Amino acid sequence: MPELPEVEVVRAGLERAVSGALISAVEVFDQRSLKRHVPAAGAFVDLLEGHRMRSAVRRGKFLWFPLDDATDAGGRALVTHLGMSGQVLLRTPGVEEDGLLRIRLHIEHPEHGEFWVNFVDQRIFGSMAVDALLPTDDGRAAGRGSELASIPGQVSHIARDPLDPAFSDAAFFASLARKNTGIKRAMLDQNLISGIGNIYADESLWAARIHYAQPSSSLSRAKAKLLLTEVRFVLEKALAEGGTSFDAQYVNVNGASGYFSHSLNAYGRQGQPCPRCGRLIVRESFMNRGSHFCAHCQKLRSAPQG
CA distance 175 to 157: 16
Question: Is the four-CA dihedral 265, 269, 270, 275 of positive or negative sign?
Answer: negative
Count of C-beta atoms within a 10 Å radius of residue 218? 18
> What H or E segment, with its residue span, contains residue 7?
helix 4-18
Task: Count how many Cα atoms sit within 13 Å of the Cα of residue 152 in the half-sphere of its side chain.
Answer: 25
Question: Active-site residue among 2, 5, 66, 215?
Answer: 2
Question: Active-site residue among 3, 8, 203, 230?
Answer: 3
Task: Count how many Cα atoms sit within 13 Å of the Cα of residue 22 in the half-sphere of its side chain.
Answer: 9
Task: Count how many Cα atoms sit within 13 Å of the Cα of residue 11 in the half-sphere of its side chain.
Answer: 28
CA neighbor of 86 nearest in space, from 115, 45, 129, 49: 129
Active site residue 54: no
**Tell me, what DSSP letter sits at residue 18?**
H
State the alpha helices, DSSP H only, in 161-220.
169-178, 183-187, 198-208
CA distance 110 to 132: 26
Question: Active-site residue among 52, 54, 59, 61?
Answer: 61
Question: Active-site residue among 16, 185, 237, 289?
Answer: 289
Active site residue 289: yes
100 three-class SS: coil
Active site residue 91: no
Active site residue 225: no
Catalytic residues: 2-3, 61, 289
